[in-house]
Structure 1
Amino acid sequence: MIKQALLGEFLHEAESTRKLLKAIPDSALDFKPSDINWTTAQLASHISEVYNWYEGTFNLDVFDMGTYKYDKGDISKAENIVAKFEENVAKAQKVLENWDESTAMNEWKMEMDGNSLFPPMPKIQVVRAFLFNHLYHHRGELVVYLRSTGNKVPGMYGPTADDKF
């Protein structure tokens, strides 16, 4: 039951993420709002990478960031970022579909070099915060990046100012 609810949200939000990533023109990839921010390409790559964390979150009780291999792929073109997203989202969907939801309340933690990066918490809380809400936060940032570069933003929860009524 939990899995079906998460899967419904996952599929809906993956489509919204897809629309947003496809709205990025190559001309905006190097934009960053300040010296401390990522470029559009780096931010979009990070959004795509979140889907690569499903295996370590759903199927492990300890996610070791010390051994995790970040694979952003070639971020020099927006289409490459979308392709990496498609690869990662397909894997994430399979992980979610095959997840044993009886583990939802298992204690989960993230470590690096034996040190806990976050306090341990129930896996379902990690799924909602670390995977889902984290992604939505970064999508919001990407919307600001697109607007700041004069680009249109696709509707994700209804029409945007760019849509004709």
Structure 2
Amino acid sequence: MLVQSLLGEFLHEAENTRKLLKAIPDSALSFKPSPTSWTTAELASHIAEIYNWYTGTFQDNVFDISKYEYDNVDLSKAENIVRKFERAFEKAKNSLASATDESLAETWTMVGNGQTYIPEMPRIQVLRGFLMNHVYHHRGEMIIYLRTTGNKVPGLYGPTYEESN
């Protein structure tokens, strides 16, 4: 029951992520709000990459980030990032759909190069905090990037200011 509820949220929010990524024009990809910030392309790619982490979260109880292979794509075209998202989304959806309520209670940790990056915690906490909320946080940043570059923001939870005027 819990997995089905989380899967419903995941599917709804993935559609919002898809809308946001599709709203990024190539002309905004190199924008960077500060010297220490990511470019729009790097931020968008990171958002898409988070969906690739579902597999490592649900297949094992220990995710060794030092062995993880990033899905590096050509960041000069927004459509490449959207395709990356679509590939990752399918794997994430299948990983979450194959989970059980019992597996959500199992402990999980992230390690790499002899360090613990995320201490042991129940997998459901990882799903909510490290995966789902992480995407929501970066989507909020992306909205600022889009507005700062004069681009329209799609409505994620109803019409945006741009859509209502």
TM class by smaller structure: over 0.9
Deviation for aligned residue 1:119: 1.9
Counterpart mapping for 1:103-114 below 5 A: 103-114=103-114
Q: Which residue of 1 aligns with 2:101?
A: 101
Larger mean CA deviation between 91-100 and 130-139 belongs to 91-100
Larger mean CA deviation between 114-123 and 31-40 belongs to 114-123
Segments of structure 1 that go 5 or more residues without pairing to the other structure are: none
Q: Which residue of 1 aligns with 2:147?
A: 147
Deviation for aligned residue 1:72: 2.7
Q: Which residue of 2 aligns with 1:125?
A: 125
User: 1:18, 1:111 → 2: CA distance?
Assistant: 29
User: 2:97, 2:122 → 1: CA distance?
Assistant: 19
**Identity score, percent:** 61
Displaced runs of 4+ in structure 1, greater than 2 A? Answer: none
Deviation for aligned residue 1:76: 1.0
Deviation for aligned residue 1:58: 1.6
User: 1:117, 1:164 → 2: CA distance?
Assistant: 43
Segments of structure 2 that go 5 or more residues without pairing to the other structure are: none
Q: Which residue of 1 aligns with 2:136?
A: 136
Larger mean CA deviation between 105-114 and 15-24 belongs to 105-114
Deviation for aligned residue 1:59: 2.0
Deviation for aligned residue 1:97: 1.1
Q: Which residue of 2 aligns with 1:60?
A: 60
Q: Which residue of 1 aligns with 2:72?
A: 72
Is residue 20 from structure 1 mapped to residue 20 from structure 2 by the alignment? Answer: yes
Q: 1:46 touches 1:72 (CA, 8 Å); kept in 2?
A: no
Q: Which residue of 2 aligns with 1:6?
A: 6
The one-letter code of the counterpart of 2:90 is A
Larger mean CA deviation between 110-119 and 12-21 belongs to 110-119
User: 2:119, 2:88 → 1: CA distance?
Assistant: 27
TM-score, normalised via structure 2 length: 0.97
User: 1:16, 1:140 → 2: CA distance?
Assistant: 11
Larger mean CA deviation between 106-115 and 14-23 belongs to 106-115
CA gap of 1:93–1:159, structure 2 versus 1, over 3 A, is: same
User: 1:77, 1:58 → 2: CA distance?
Assistant: 31
User: 1:149, 1:31 → 2: CA distance?
Assistant: 7
TM-score, normalised via structure 1 length: 0.97
Q: 1:29 touches 1:78 (CA, 8 Å); kept in 2?
A: yes
